[in-house]
Amino acid sequence: MIHWGLEVVLLVLLLSTAIIALKVKDLLAAVVTLGVFSFLSALVFVAMGAVDVGFTEAVVGAGVTTVLFVIALYHTTRRSND
Amino acid sequence: MIRQSTSPIIVLIGRLVSPFIQVFGLYVIFHGHYGPGGGFQGGAILAASLLLIRLCLDSETAQLQFRQALGTPVGILGSLAFAGIGLMTLLLGGEFLDYAFLPFGGMKPAEIRAMGILLVELGIGVAVMATLVAIFDDLIGLEDHG
């Protein structure tokens, strides 16, 4: 119960980053926002006491999958200039 | 093929930070049985440091650090280290990954177990690192630098 306020703040931030990642137009910005989402969910795991799960989420979710998404973007081209 | 970034800040920060990330990854692997972390997380951290160099600098410089052709063989070697230790204990009379049956002479049983866990986690870490780098190289489509 000590972390109650912290968890609420983290969950609100989690929701807002998820919505931003869905709504934003630039795909690179969406990928970076998804990385922020991963890191925040890692913080939520740590706040709930699952340190090992949070560690894995921070390393794989925020580190490696972001890089893989960036490479996937690197292979795409922009069709419209809006 | 990734060209070197035109920004000197990105190049400098990538080169500066990468060794520290590697030291932290080794710490996570070797400290895995005392605290959170372990082979998979440490290997992913090591892979992240290699990917940082591959993203910030150009591809030829990254080949000096970890060759593209090494990715799959080193990954196979890591998984073979894991499976080999597990099967070795199986052959020596125990169950799969029963570290007490490892043939280390002159050590207490607890030390043998700690050493077995360390070797298995090293194998997992090397396998994860090499496989993640190999996935990156295959996605980016580098030509082989031999």
Report CA-CA distances (Å) from B19 to B53, B88, B125: 10, 34, 17
- pLDDT, one tens digit per residue, over B21-42 is 999 999 999 988 888 888 899 9
Range of the domain at A8: 4-74
In a domain, A80, yes or no: no
Helix (H) or strand (E) holding B133: helix B109-140
Cβ-Cβ contacts under 8 Å between A and B: the total is 38
Predicted ipTM beyond 0.85? no
Judge: A59–B55 Cβ closer than 8 Å, yes or no: no
- pLDDT, one tens digit per residue, over A14-64 is 999 999 999 998 888 999 999 999 999 999 999 888 888 999 999 888 888
Judge: B36–A52 Cβ closer than 8 Å, yes or no: yes
Give 3-state DSSP helix, strand, coil % of chain B, rounded to 5: 75, 0, 25
Nearest CA in chain A to B135: A68
In a domain, A79, yes or no: no
In a domain, A21, yes or no: yes
CB of B51 less than 8 A from some CB of A = yes
Judge: B51–A67 Cβ closer than 8 Å, yes or no: yes
Judge: B44–A63 Cβ closer than 8 Å, yes or no: yes
Domain count, chain A: 1
In a domain, A36, yes or no: yes
